[in-house]
Chain A
């Protein structure tokens, strides 16, 4: 075999390793119920859950509890299947949190009751592209 071939095979091998680990390390989108089942089965890797904040009758966000030292908080999130879940986040409340249309929490269940988010991604109503013009008094 020529050295070029060995080299080629080596490159292909590394590429395959990269693809396999990428898939292996990739997280998944889950609902709270599947996430809970996974956690109960001992799978503790972080997964993504997509949902919204729980809102009351008049559209106010409900269930945000800020920790005493203001450095962490819990909130109630409703996933796309409608399951409600209390989520803990070890950071101060992100600024535009209450306005978010959609939240993605990345984390895992630490106990049966509590989902602990390592990271929160928020989608806010069209941040700087608002088409909703509020007329000023002029």
Chain B
């Protein structure tokens, strides 16, 4: 039965959310302009409309999740983003896999933030919430799904499949509901993908708060007072955005192809740039609070960070990136709407700023080189330039689109080597930043003259040189660029560490946010340098197969072919591929794939043998097993050093009917390095194309060859049961046992020949690992000979890459420390704000 109710309800809630956002905006507008006498009633009305909006927004999310959770495949969204086999936590990922779901998430966070603002601010509520309500109206319009003539406004997630699909089935049977959905992109089936998008969208949503305070400040002509309430939010926003970026990087590292954690892909850049600008804004805002300088700069930066989030959304979701990004977002035809959204707020911000520019107080005093303002300003400038350097080339597809609109033709493409291109700039900027944070922090806490500075810096300078020397020697860093990175990273850590110690001694831990975040920066820098600069691909192909072309010599063959059970030397390790495994619910570790047979049901398999791990039996032969995502295979790869098994990895791969081979790496994690293994190609294992029949005559005890394997015909016995099933009376069954030694593994193949009445049954035996199918074709009793029919395929293999990533934990630890630093800073600034509020000032 088709359920159209929930979709209609969802769609109604979308319209309600849109209308209530507009009404709320109008009402808050009147509230800000109302006389003191009328204010309370306007405020109540505005709040009620915003609550209604919030209720509608939550209901939209509820309806969509209901559709996914109850597998209502009559809806396009559920059909194309989920399937029956998905566990609940991945259903959550399905929710935001589509763009509509992502917008809903964004809307939801804005509602949460809006409610917090209503209840924490007395003074600022009116204008701030006006901006909020307008933003919400724009966001909800993205999922409105209303068509007026040729004009399509928004893309509704509540479309029925039959409204979207042109499949002929719907002409025959409009009530048709597909059995199952097409599933969630397997790359997103990762725990980090459950929490990364909400974090990122909270980051996106939170950039609105400082922006809204700024706009409020401009309209109320409170040019500088907005900074105080905006500052904790700006730090919050930077922290959450930063956390989202890190989670994305970590997800890429643990699930994506061989690209590592950061690829300078347009989608990644689109988050990185607003983050940099937000961090710059925080610094100028703090400076302003201390010394009344940099107010205008702060304003420009706050506006820029908000607009850049919208620009990023536009770039990523309008389809303008086209084929320049590996992240594929389908063009939902929202480009125009997204553009209007961005330009609308850009125009308002520019208009208000220009109008009020003359009245914005500035400090005429020239900042001295020995003042903290000067150094922080340089730092903020460096951050802004970093952002500029990334956004300029990332926008190349947008320029092309623009040129084409005006009838021109542009053949400009993004840099071919993205990583090399961005790194060569960002690296030096980051080094400059690291040095600036070291020096800047000293200025921050102490008023410095020339001599004081020298004295203050000498000790950290010497310690950091020693530290750097140790790192350089132990890490064998001989590249001059890398040495500079280590030096600057060490200097940041030591200089900021000195400040941190001082603050801790003074028991003023809540002031330590800055130095903690900067220590994190230094560690990130060193971690990136080691893990990327010294990433060592150990799976270099030395097979020595003749290269056809001379130029092939120059290319590094970074993949190796591993035949099952055949050892291969890879740098320090001897590596052996041991076959495919599956994950079974209730069984620790992995279970060999040929110990089970797939059943009709989703994620169900029949145990073909007893399943035991470490002597403990988990399932008996014949039991039904629940698999954790049937499509996923895990490829067991053993790493030996000398004769000793060091560790075993299980990189995942999934031959996906719609996306082809999807692989996720597995890593051996040491404290000082990760060994990373990734499957790049696999054998077609399930449905091999068997070679032509071969017939072999042999007597028990004889040896012969199958597929180059020495095969021993061990025995042939009359058996009374087959697979545990007793035979009928009069049946004669003969089981032949063949054994094959494949390196150190002994395989037993046992086809059965069955005679029942006048009929002959041949039960073949397939060994997927060896690529052999054998059956007893005939028995010649006179000669005591068996005729085997043999089909062969290739042995199972895996093509994989492996690399050592040194010191990657320094990077992750650095990010954690930086986030802690942000949190401490938020606490401090919010505390300040609370105190001011208690005094009735805000």
Q: How far is the CA of A21 from the CA of B326 in the complex (A)?
A: 24
Instruction: Give the residues from 397 to 430 in chain B that come closer than 8 angstroms, CB to CB, to chain A.
Output: 411-417, 421, 425
Q: Is B180 an interface residue (CB 8 A)?
A: yes
Q: Assess the A4–B366 pair: CB atoms within 8 A.
A: yes
Measured between beta carbons, the chain B residues less than 8 angstroms from A129 are 80, 330
A71-B561 in contact given A47-B413, A47-B416, A102-B323 (Cβ < 8 Å): yes
Q: In the assembled complex, how far is the CB of residue B443 from the closest CB belonging to chain A, in whole angstroms?
A: 16
Q: Assess the B799–A70 pair: CB atoms within 8 A.
A: yes
Measured between beta carbons, the chain B residues less than 8 angstroms from A68 are 545
Q: Which residue of A lies closest to B177 (CB)?
A: A138
Q: How far is the CA of A97 from the CA of B659 in the complex (A)?
A: 9
Q: How far is the CA of A115 from the CA of B414 in the complex (A)?
A: 19
Q: Is A25 an interface residue (CB 8 A)?
A: yes
Proximity string of chain B (656-692) to chain A, C-beta cutoff 8 Å, 1 when within and 0 when not: 1011111000000000000000001100000000000
Q: How far is the CA of A3 from the CA of B367 in the complex (A)?
A: 9
Q: Assess the A28–B412 pair: CB atoms within 8 A.
A: yes
A29-B180 in contact given A18-B389, A91-B559, A128-B185 (Cβ < 8 Å): no
Q: How far is the CA of A50 from the CA of B411 in the complex (A)?
A: 11
Q: Is B555 an interface residue (CB 8 A)?
A: yes
Measured between beta carbons, the chain B residues less than 8 angstroms from A90 are 552, 555-558
Query: How many residues of B are in contact with the other chain, CB < 8 A?
Result: 66
Instruction: Give the residues from 81 to 138 in chain A that come closer than 8 angstroms, CB to CB, to chain B.
Output: 88, 90-97, 99, 102, 104, 106-107, 110-111, 114, 116, 118-119, 121, 123-124, 126-136, 138
Measured between beta carbons, the chain A residues less than 8 angstroms from B80 are 128-130
Measured between beta carbons, the chain B residues less than 8 angstroms from A114 are 549, 551
Q: Assess the B662–A95 pair: CB atoms within 8 A.
A: yes
Q: Assess the B413–A26 pair: CB atoms within 8 A.
A: yes
Q: Assess the A29–B411 pair: CB atoms within 8 A.
A: yes
Q: How far is the CA of A47 from the CA of B326 in the complex (A)?
A: 17
Q: How far is the CA of A92 from the CA of B330 in the complex (A)?
A: 27
Q: Assess the B328–A127 pair: CB atoms within 8 A.
A: yes
Of the candidate stretches B8-16, B20-28, B162-170, the one touching chain A is: B162-170
Q: Is B541 an interface residue (CB 8 A)?
A: yes
Q: Which of A19, A46, A69, A88 has the most CB of B within 10 A?
A: A69
Measured between beta carbons, the chain B residues less than 8 angstroms from A138 are 179
Q: Assess the B416–A48 pair: CB atoms within 8 A.
A: yes
Q: Is B607 an interface residue (CB 8 A)?
A: no
Q: Assess the B413–A133 pair: CB atoms within 8 A.
A: no
Q: Is B396 an interface residue (CB 8 A)?
A: yes
Q: Is B182 an interface residue (CB 8 A)?
A: yes
Q: Assess the A128–B681 pair: CB atoms within 8 A.
A: no
Q: How far is the CA of A23 from the CA of B326 in the complex (A)?
A: 22
Q: Which residue of B lies closest to A49 (CB)?
A: B413
Measured between beta carbons, the chain A residues less than 8 angstroms from B393 are 22, 25-26
Q: In the assembled complex, how far is the CB of residue A43 from the closest CB belonging to chain B, in whole angstroms?
A: 13
Q: Assess the A26–B414 pair: CB atoms within 8 A.
A: yes
Q: How far is the CA of A68 from the CA of B79 in the complex (A)?
A: 40
Q: Assess the B167–A133 pair: CB atoms within 8 A.
A: yes
Measured between beta carbons, the chain A residues less than 8 angstroms from B97 are 128
Q: Assess the A30–B166 pair: CB atoms within 8 A.
A: no
Q: Assess the B551–A111 pair: CB atoms within 8 A.
A: yes
Q: Assess the A133–B178 pair: CB atoms within 8 A.
A: yes
Measured between beta carbons, the chain B residues less than 8 angstroms from A121 are 323-324, 326
Q: Which residue of A lies closest to B325 (CB)?
A: A121
Measured between beta carbons, the chain B residues less than 8 angstroms from A94 are 660-661
Q: Assess the A136–B180 pair: CB atoms within 8 A.
A: yes
Q: How far is the CA of A14 from the CA of B686 in the complex (A)?
A: 58
Measured between beta carbons, the chain B residues less than 8 angstroms from A130 are 80, 182, 658
A71-B179 in contact given A19-B392, A127-B659 (Cβ < 8 Å): no
Q: How far is the CA of A133 from the CA of B161 in the complex (A)?
A: 9
Q: In the assembled complex, how far is the CB of residue B258 from the closest CB belonging to chain A, in whole angstroms?
A: 9
B415 contacts which of A15, A27, A69 (Cβ < 8 Å)?
A27
Measured between beta carbons, the chain A residues less than 8 angstroms from B416 are 27, 45-48, 106-107, 118-119
Counted as pairs of residues, one from A and one from B, with CB atoms less than 8 Å apart, the total is 166
Q: In the assembled complex, how far is the CB of residue A119 from the closest CB belonging to chain B, in whole angstroms?
A: 7
Q: How far is the CA of A46 from the CA of B421 in the complex (A)?
A: 13
Q: Assess the B557–A71 pair: CB atoms within 8 A.
A: yes
Measured between beta carbons, the chain B residues less than 8 angstroms from A19 are 392
Q: Assess the A116–B660 pair: CB atoms within 8 A.
A: no
Proximity string of chain B (480-505) to chain A, C-beta cutoff 8 Å, 1 when within and 0 when not: 00000000000000000000000000
Q: How far is the CA of A88 from the CA of B552 in the complex (A)?
A: 10
Q: Is A72 an interface residue (CB 8 A)?
A: yes
Q: How far is the CA of A104 from the CA of B661 in the complex (A)?
A: 19
Measured between beta carbons, the chain B residues less than 8 angstroms from A67 are 545
A131-B545 in contact given A28-B412, A30-B411 (Cβ < 8 Å): no
Q: Assess the B417–A46 pair: CB atoms within 8 A.
A: yes
Proximity string of chain A (4-28) to chain B, C-beta cutoff 8 Å, 1 when within and 0 when not: 1001000100110011011101111
Instruction: Give the residues from 488 to 547 in chain B that come closer than 8 angstroms, CB to CB, to chain A.
Output: 541, 543, 545
Q: How far is the CA of A93 from the CA of B176 in the complex (A)?
A: 37
Q: Assess the A135–B659 pair: CB atoms within 8 A.
A: no
Q: Assess the B413–A48 pair: CB atoms within 8 A.
A: yes
Q: In the assembled complex, how far is the CB of residue A10 from the closest CB belonging to chain B, in whole angstroms?
A: 9
Q: Assess the B179–A136 pair: CB atoms within 8 A.
A: yes
Q: Which residue of A lies closest to B183 (CB)?
A: A128
Q: How far is the CA of A96 from the CA of B662 in the complex (A)?
A: 9
Q: Which of B170, B326, B557 has the most CB of A within 10 A?
A: B557
Measured between beta carbons, the chain A residues less than 8 angstroms from B389 are 18, 22
Q: Is B560 an interface residue (CB 8 A)?
A: yes
Q: How far is the CA of A110 from the CA of B557 in the complex (A)?
A: 16
Q: Is B381 an interface residue (CB 8 A)?
A: yes
A18-B385 in contact given A26-B414, A69-B541, A130-B80 (Cβ < 8 Å): yes
A110-B561 in contact given A69-B541, A69-B543 (Cβ < 8 Å): no
Proximity string of chain A (23-56) to chain B, C-beta cutoff 8 Å, 1 when within and 0 when not: 1011111100000000000000111101000000
Instruction: Give the residues from 152 to 200 in chain B that come closer than 8 angstroms, CB to CB, to chain A.
Output: 161, 164-167, 169-170, 176, 178-180, 182, 185
Q: Assess the A26–B396 pair: CB atoms within 8 A.
A: yes
Q: How far is the CA of A84 from the CA of B38 in the complex (A)?
A: 75
A131-B178 in contact given A28-B412, A71-B541 (Cβ < 8 Å): no
Q: How far is the CA of A45 from the CA of B367 in the complex (A)?
A: 46
Q: Assess the A131–B167 pair: CB atoms within 8 A.
A: yes
- Sample of 10 more A-B contacts, CB < 8 Å, known A26-B396, A128-B182, A136-B180: A47-B413, A68-B545, A94-B661, A106-B413, A106-B416, A111-B551, A127-B330, A130-B658, A132-B167, A133-B167
Binding site for A on B (CB under 8 A): 79-81, 97, 161, 164-167, 169-170, 176, 178-180, 182, 185, 323-324, 326, 328, 330, 366-367, 369, 378, 381, 385, 388-389, 392-393, 396, 411-417, 421, 425, 541, 543, 545, 549, 551-552, 555-561, 655-656, 658-662, 680-681, 797, 799
| A and B contact pairs by CB, cutoff 8 A, 30 listed | A3-B366, A4-B366, A15-B388, A22-B389, A22-B393, A22-B415, A23-B412, A25-B421, A28-B412, A28-B413, A29-B412, A48-B413, A69-B541, A69-B557, A90-B552, A90-B556, A94-B660, A94-B661, A116-B555, A121-B323, A123-B323, A124-B659, A128-B659, A133-B161, A133-B165, A133-B169, A134-B167, A135-B176, A136-B178, A138-B179
